[in-house]
Amino acid sequence: MPNALAHYYLQPLSWRRAKGSPEVYDLEAIGGAIGYLRYSGERRAFAQAGDGAWSFEPAGFFRSRIEVRATPGGDLLATFHPSFWGIGGRVEVRGGPTFRVKSSKFDSVFTVFQPDGPTLVSYSLASFFGMHSPVTWGDDPSPFERWPWLLPLSWYLAVRHHKEMAAATAVVSTG
């Protein structure tokens, strides 16, 4: 049975910071918002899109990771493991494939790759008037049919990476 987000695959979508809320991002289609990503604290976030709801929560200290859980209920669906240098990593689906994640050197493009190499989804990040990006689909969105949480997770990771790079830049420039 396809999930409710399946109707929107390959259609124009964008993530945009919600007006009046610096920690909520709306997933917008032509007719309006179809989902959201809401931060709860500095790094934990909740997402809802279509007929699904998920949490993205940091875990671990020396071997940090992001755990993806269904809500309510809390079943572990996947784990994101950042790379050592923080410009990417991998999403390991529980009982499934591993997706690669990579950011450009200049922090402007964030991409999730399918296990066999092609682009699944990417974002061209802009933050001058609030963080936003169109969703750029790869040629085959079929993984989203089985794992719809990949769409809000990819945006969560893009925003998180952007925040970390901004913080690092601030430290270096004031250092």
CA-closest candidate to residue 6, choices 52, 38, 46: 52
Delimit the domains of the chain by residue range.
4-174
- In tens, the pLDDT along 44-59 reads 999 999 889 999 999 9
- How confident is the model at residue 137, as a pLDDT? 94
Measure Cα distances from 10 to 5, 24, 42, 142 in Å. 11, 23, 31, 10
What is this structure's pTM? 0.87
DSSP reduced 3-state for 6: helix
- How confident is the model at residue 42, as a pLDDT? 76
Fold of 4-174: Porin (2.40.160)
- How confident is the model at residue 76, as a pLDDT? 96
- Cis peptide preceding 134, ω within 30 of 0: no
- How confident is the model at residue 1, as a pLDDT? 39
Question: Average pLDDT of each block of 10 consecutive residues along the chain (175 residues)?
Answer: 73 91 91 93 89 93 89 91 84 97 80 94 79 90 91 91 58 56
**Residue 18 per-residue DSSP state:** P
